Amino acid sequence: YAHTVKGNLACADETTRPQAIEELRSALAMRQRVLGRNHGEVMGGNWNLALCLGRAGQAEAALAHLEETFRICREEGYPPEDIKETVEKYVEFLAALGRATPYDDVLR
């Protein structure tokens, strides 16, 4: 958790964003190793890393982490209303990459 907080804080500043990304990657790897791939904390780690990567202009990498977040949501049976923010961010990154996809199509 401390690594995630540190990474999120550092992500806000453009000069420390590269270190933030590494901090968030490290935190995610620790969570995956200790908690397993589908734990809610791993999902949150993917989400945090995706947002930071998006701020850094790394939309493809951000999209990959949002896809992983979305995969966990689906496998764990989260209802659509609980994953609305994840799907909206996913659609936003797709559009930024020139691959606009309607929200409802993502949920299918």
Is the per-residue pLDDT at 85 higher than 80?
yes
DSSP state string for 9-60: HHHTSTTTHHHHHHHHHHHHHHHHHHH-TT-HHHHHHHHHHHHHHHHTT-HH
**Within 13 Å and on the Cβ side, how many CA atoms surround 50?**
26
User: What's the token pair of residue 51?
Assistant: 């947002």
pTM (two decimals): 0.82
Q: Which of 32-36, 61-65, 103-107 has the lowest mean pLDDT?
A: 103-107
**Mean pLDDT of the 52-56 span:** 93
Is the per-residue pLDDT at 33 higher than 80?
yes
Tell me the percentage of the chain whose pLDDT exceeds 90: 36
